[in-house]
Amino acid sequence: MKRENTKAEETFGDELGESVISVNRSAKVVKGGKNFSFGALVVVGNRNGRVGYGYGKANEVSDAIRKGGEAARRNMVTVPMHGQTLPHEVLVKFGGAKVLLKPASTGTGLIAGGAVRAILELAGVKDVLAKSLGASNSTNVTKATFRAIGELQTRKDVQARRGITDAK
């Protein structure tokens, strides 16, 4: 995964879409009752090949979402694309969660569920077949999806690494 952080992102942050994947509530039992705190998993993307995720924790839900969004903007990655789909199939495991991403022909649409769908929508991928296997823990599914995005390579990247010039 290429991590890019530029000033241009911060100045043009209005065009970024944001999606809350999950909100977790945690309770600490104290003498006077229970103190609740919240954690929010947030995905941010420009729908044009850049996407990031972040996790924010705070005593209020809105503050946790804001912190998660800020963390996501700092951790944006570029998604290698082949037209409106992915360059090749990839299967990645993170913890108990497995994510399978397959390129699809034009017009297929975004066939994915849950966290994977939100991430790929915000990345701007239009045609893909995705399946979340194993655990349904949204944090691990999100991390597996980003690891899968990191493993994607375009044809040009592979040719450059092998020292092959395109004959076409």
Q: Tell me, what CATH number does 84's domain have?
A: 3.30.230.10
pLDDT lower than 50: segments of the chain: 1-13
Count of other CB atoms within 10 angstroms of residue 74: 14
Answer whether residue 1 is part of any domain: no
CATH of residue 45: 3.30.160.20
Answer whether residue 119 is part of any domain: yes
- Residue 155 confidence (pLDDT): 86
> What is the domain extent for residue 45?
7-77
Number of domains in the chain: 2
Statement to judge: residues 49 and 97 lie in one domain: no
- Tell me the C-alpha distance between 158 and 80, whole Å: 12
pLDDT digits (tens, 9 = 90+) for 17-62: 999 999 999 999 999 999 999 999 999 999 999 999 999 999 999 9
Statement to judge: residues 100 and 151 lie in one domain: yes
Statement to judge: residues 98 and 155 lie in one domain: yes
Answer whether residue 39 is part of any domain: yes
Rounded (10°) CA dihedral 161, 144, 84, 19: -140
Statement to judge: residues 67 and 110 lie in one domain: no
- Residue 168 confidence (pLDDT): 57
Statement to judge: residues 98 and 64 lie in one domain: no
CA atoms within 13 A on the CB side of 129: 8
- Tell me the C-alpha distance between 83 and 37, whole Å: 42
Radius of gyration of the chain (CA): 18
Statement to judge: residues 30 and 83 lie in one domain: no
Statement to judge: residues 84 and 145 lie in one domain: yes
Answer whether residue 165 is part of any domain: no
Statement to judge: residues 20 and 47 lie in one domain: yes
Give 31's contacts (C-beta < 8 A, 6+ positions apart). none
On whether the CB atoms of residues 40 and 20 are closer than 8 A, the answer is yes
On whether the CB atoms of residues 26 and 8 are closer than 8 A, the answer is no
- Residue 1 confidence (pLDDT): 45
- Residue 165 confidence (pLDDT): 83
Q: Among the three residues 59, 77, 95, which one is the final residue of a domain in this structure?
A: 77
